[in-house]
Amino acid sequence: MATIKKDIRALSKEQLREFFVAEGDQAFRGNQVYEWLWSKGVHSFDDMTNISLKTREMLENNFIINHIAVDQIQRSSDGTIKNAVKLHDGLVVESVLIPTAKRTTACVSSQVGCSLDCKFCATARLKRMRNLNPGEIYDQVVAIDRESRLYHDRPLSNIVFMGMGEPLMNYNNVIKAIDKITSEEGLGMSPKRITVSTSGVPKMIKKMADDGVKFKLAVSLHSAIDEVRTSIMPFNATFPLADLREALEYWYAKTKNRITYEYVVWKGINDSKKDVDALVAFCKFAPSKVNLIEYNPIDDGDFQQADDSALELYINTLEANNITVTVRRSRGKDIDAACGQLANKH
């Protein structure tokens, strides 16, 4: 009977150590193999040069190493790079490298497609096919780090989970990936340089607070009025703002970490004084700041970036209420790499 080979990267370090002990080898062998798989990122057992040939053959007979392959690289005139990443089963996700003067940020995907239905987001048009596993999330970061060194002469400095998918609907795998990214055997990156962006799943925000996570939280708010938010982010009907508010208050009480609200201002949708006042009131529930994002058009005419006067009203009112506000310019628009444009168009 043919045995189905397991993905060796689905094993924790402890499980690998136990595997070697069960094979009559030393637990330490597990550490060595783990290091090859994660910090050195090899794609073949043959590359594990300090492991004996016999052991490599035994591993080959028992396991496969699932890994991603960067299928296509697109480079924007502003230095942004978008990777189309092929997974072992042929599905594709996208990740983006965004260089600025001070940092290079990787924007990574957590799911193939997305189960949410935000009306302004191109990824929402692809239905959710599956969750990414921890290795597939980790590998996107490694690939971007390599490109950052190659094209921009510096390592990756930050990671945002703002690519395809809703990270809190693939929570366990995202956490496992972040553990690897931050561990010394992985990339040794500080969790303070990692931001998880969510459309706001109250139960999971509370769980994150209980788990004592150290990364930053961003919430795609876009409106602090239920009726408006539900019209553009229909899942808000299931997770209304009152529940989100309660979860965010809980998050802050437990973590003392300030929340970032991501917010696009659209013409005729959320550009009135009433919308601004509702946001100001929402910001007072827990220490927070607002990141105004420029709208990146997707292929329909329903949404349009608001006039500058509306943006000014937001900025002035927020500042008058002592709420920090930043404006994020789009990057990589010419290659469909900007927020909300990831849709495997190629």
Candidate list 80, 133, 195, 198; residue touching ligand SAH; CB under 6 A:
198
* Inter-residue contact 159 to 146 (CB < 8 Å): no
Q: How many residues bind ligand SAH (CB under 6 A)?
A: 16
Q: How far is the CB of 53 from ligand SAH (least distance, A)?
A: 45
| Residue 94 lies near ligand SAH (rule: CB under 6 A) | no
Q: Which of residues 119-138 bind ligand SAH (CB under 6 A)?
A: 120-121
Phi-psi region of 307 (alpha: psi -120 to 50; beta: other; left: phi over 0): beta
Tell me how far the alpha carbon of residue 326 is from its chain's centroid: 20
- Distances in Å between the Cα of 77 and the Cα atoms of 71, 82, 98, 341 are 20, 12, 12, 17
| Residue 111 lies near ligand SAH (rule: CB under 6 A) | no
Q: How far is the CB of 95 from ligand SAH (least distance, A)?
A: 12
Helix axes 171-182, 134-152, angle to 10 degrees: 40
Q: How far is the CB of 101 from ligand SAH (least distance, A)?
A: 22
DSSP-assigned beta bridge partners for residue 92: 86
Q: Which of residues 156-185 bind ligand SAH (CB under 6 A)?
A: 162, 166
**In terms of CB distance, is 16 or 160 closer to ligand SAH?**
160
The encoded tokens of residue 256 equal: 């003392």
* Inter-residue contact 84 to 70 (CB < 8 Å): yes
| Residue 296 lies near ligand SAH (rule: CB under 6 A) | yes
- Distances in Å between the Cα of 115 and the Cα atoms of 104, 161, 175, 275, 345 are 29, 16, 19, 27, 18
Tell me how far the alpha carbon of residue 310 is from its chain's centroid: 29
**Percent composition of the chain: helix, strand, coil (DSSP 3-state, to 5):** 40, 20, 40
Please identify every residue annotated as catalytic: 94, 339
**In terms of CB distance, is 116 or 187 closer to ligand SAH?**
116
d(CA 44, CA 36): 10
| Residue 293 lies near ligand SAH (rule: CB under 6 A) | yes
**In terms of CB distance, is 59 or 338 closer to ligand SAH?**
338
| Residue 105 lies near ligand SAH (rule: CB under 6 A) | no
| Residue 108 lies near ligand SAH (rule: CB under 6 A) | no
| Residue 139 lies near ligand SAH (rule: CB under 6 A) | no
Residue with smallest beta-carbon separation from ligand SAH: 340
Where does this chain bind ligand SAH (CB under 6 A)? 120-121, 162, 166, 197-199, 220, 262, 264, 293, 295-296, 298, 339-340
